[in-house]
Structure 1
Amino acid sequence: MPQSYIKRILDARVYDVARETPVDQAPLLSQRTGNRVWLKREDLQPVFSFKLRGAYNKMHRLSEAQRAGGVVAASAGNHAQGLAMAAQKMGVKATIVMPRTTPLIKVDAVRGRGARVVLHGDSYDEAAAHADRLVKEKGMTYVHPFDDPDVIAGQGTVGMEIVRQHQAPLDVLFVPVGGGGLLAGVAAYVKYVWPQTKIIGVEPEDAACLKLALDRGRRATLPEVGLFADGCAVAQVGKETFRVIRETVDEVITASTDEMCAAIKDIFEDTRSIAEPAGALALAGLKKYAEREGCEDKDLLAIVSGANTNFDRLRYISERTEIGEQREAVLSVTIPERPGSFRAFCGVLGRRNITEFNYRYADAGSAQVFVGVSVVPGGDDLESLLSELAKKGYEVEDLTENEVAKLHVRYMVGGHVPDAVANERVYRVEFPERPGALAKFLSGLGQAWNISMFHYRNHGAAYGRILVGVQVRAAERKAFSSVMDDIGFRYWDETENRAYQLYLGQRPESGEN
């Protein structure tokens, strides 16, 4: 029963290395949501993550023989840093297997604490499989990042601190979820002391392994895991963590990449600290819940679980923030190609701020405009704008939720493909960002097909993206698909995507040869 964790948590040995982090009120968020929003600042730990707690508690309970044989773990980074610091403190040799997609800041931090780093695979699960092999070959002790009672108890001290620091019961507590160690530990303690408090787990939309397990009534494995929130990039929730979570957690919410980016900005504006995507995940869920429920004058707390992110990744985060806050809309608008038409169009937009305006002369009749415009979030401002544009006779399409538009087309607007480029097919490709990955894709395509368009942006993230146009005749499409499958990267056929057709594809009258 989850109650058995209460004594484990009270007895947990964490404060030799971890600190009791504060619960801070977020005044700007509180004002904006009409609630009292609190942040549990686990980003202020010595390793900038809560993971230190569980790792040290587990290490403390190992036998002398186990410590002498050394420890090994698989981690996307935060558990690795926690275990490395714990091992350094106790004089134990540590080997950490990390996915190749792990941000460099985390890799360097682990090495800086004396641990041996082995980079293997593109996901946590691939790294874990390699760590298991090292256990069998070398006789080391495996320290699991989440699915271990001692690790869960160590993380549970976060909940113990929240109860002591906030004093009065919270209305709702939001906890990020990867494998479930933090959620299980916090929920076991808080639900025991404050049974009236609603506890909600928050997962990335593209790594929602807990939601999958709850929907099916049993643990299951996600076929693919998104890498943006690398600290939560887990394909299957833990066995022990799921057992505890099922009995203590009220709900699980998912958050999109844009919503996490917006939450990172919110944390920065209230604390001047920069959370990593997984670190801001709980707050993204809090905002989503508050809007959905329309709650007011409630005590809502989100755990800021970590702050380990690459600095250059902030470019991508800042780009997505305004859309995540629903403060920017991306529109495609057809305007007359004549002097004064831009001014007339801006007149319809009124006092709204134009964040982006792209077009290129195409013909004497009309121009296709790709425009970013600021809108008021949480209301009907965007709908009013679309309606007003339609009344003024403009053809308009809302591309705000179009991934190709947001990631590629907005940076490529410049004209349709010439008539001479026949049989163009367009693909969006996603791959783990590491040296040689781009070369692997290009060499995999070979020389059988001509590349007619290519766009690649390095976002400083764990994965890269390509938008590529290739001339493929109808009779060759099956063979081309086989080549793409053999390359092994995730891809989507975007030839029918409206953003591509409006700005980059052949004009309707030119047809396909």
Structure 2
Amino acid sequence: YVSGQSHCSVGMSKLVGTTVYLKMENSQPSGSFKIRGIGHLCQGCLRIFIGGNAGMAAAYAARKMGVPATIVVPSSSPQLVVQRLQDQGATVKITGKVWDDANAEALRLAETEGLTYVPPFDHPLLWQGHGSMITEVAASLGPGVKPGAVLLSVGGGGLLCGVIQGLKDVGWTDVPIVAMETVGAHCFNAAVKAGRLVTLDDITRLEV
């Protein structure tokens, strides 16, 4: 991966009345932070096999390492996403309607064909790789300076786990994290309230 740029947002800082720094992970070659963890996990892989929307990072990592990659996605994936994966040299298999369907197929094929399954968010090496963001932030802010809080979004939880790992690595365990989730896909919020792992009945959206 490359170091994602970070800068102070003048507009947001003015709006909230304090300095706001943005970590520009959209500048990564794969378009998101996911290349950090997936690139870290995939080192030494002979063949990459993954399900889910982390496929772009896996496809990019595989192309750079010169190994084949098979990405399993659900039929709900936009054609543009499929095309971008193929442009990276990956083989794309479309299975099921939602991510769970595609992931189940990826796990099945990985087991039957002896491939290396790369999870999109649930692996310690992914979190270790994602944690490099906080290491870069600490280096950018300089000695003796730390943020008042870290604000991030939560989907599968890989970024959140990585930020927690990164905060531990740089000694910022007292820095609070504000985790944001989408209404209708708030599995982390539901799990925190229940005090255990939960599965949502469905992913819905807020009608406006």
TM-score, reference length from structure 1: 0.39
Structure of higher RCO (CA pairs closer than 8 Å, 6+ residues apart): 2
- State the distance in 1 between where 2:44 and 2:188 align: 28
Match of 1:71 among 48, 69, 79: 48
Q: Secondary structure at the match of 1:224?
A: coil
Report the counterpart of residue 40 of structure 1 in structure 2.
23
Match of 2:160 among 166, 183, 200: 183
Displacement of 1:99: 1.7
Q: Deviations over 1:256-289 (max 9, x none)?
A: x6xxxxxxxxxxxxxxxxxxxxxxxxxxxxxxxx
Structure 2 unpaired stretches of 5+: none
Report the counterpart of residue 493 of structure 1 in structure 2.
none
Q: Secondary structure at the match of 2:71?
A: strand
Q: Secondary structure at the match of 2:130?
A: helix
- State the distance in 2 between where 1:137 and 1:190 align: 38
Structure ranking higher in strand proportion: 1
Q: Secondary structure at the match of 1:117?
A: strand
Q: Deviations over 1:424-482 (max 9, x none)?
A: xxxxxxxxxxxxxxxxxxxxxxxxxxxxxxxxxxxxxxxxxxxxxxxxxxxxxxxxxxx
Q: Is the 8 A contact 1:147 1:181 kept in 2?
A: yes
Report the counterpart of residue 175 of structure 2 in structure 1.
197
Displacement of 1:100: 1.6
Q: Is the 8 A contact 1:176 1:202 kept in 2?
A: yes
- Go from structure 1 to structure 2 and tell me whether the alpha carbon gap of 1:159 and 1:105 turns closer, same or farther (over 3 Å shift): farther
TM-score, reference length from structure 2: 0.92
Q: Is the 8 A contact 2:128 2:166 kept in 1?
A: no
For the pair 1:57 / 2:40, whether they are aligned, the reply is yes
Displacement of 1:61: 4.4
Amino acid corresponding to residue 79 of structure 2 in structure 1 = L
Alignment of 1:56-135 (within 5 A): 56-62=39-45, 67=46, 70-76=47-53, 79-135=54-110
Amino acid corresponding to residue 37 of structure 2 in structure 1 = G
Match of 2:188 among 207, 210, 219: 210
Alignment of 1:31-430 (within 5 A): 31-62=14-45, 67=46, 70-76=47-53, 79-167=54-142, 168-192=145-169, 193-226=171-204, 403=207, 406=208
- State the distance in 2 between where 1:29 and 1:165 align: 19
Superposition RMSD in Å: 1.6
Count of aligned pairs: 205
Identity %: 34
- State the distance in 2 between where 1:213 and 1:60 align: 32
Amino acid corresponding to residue 198 of structure 1 in structure 2 = P
Displacement of 1:135: 1.3
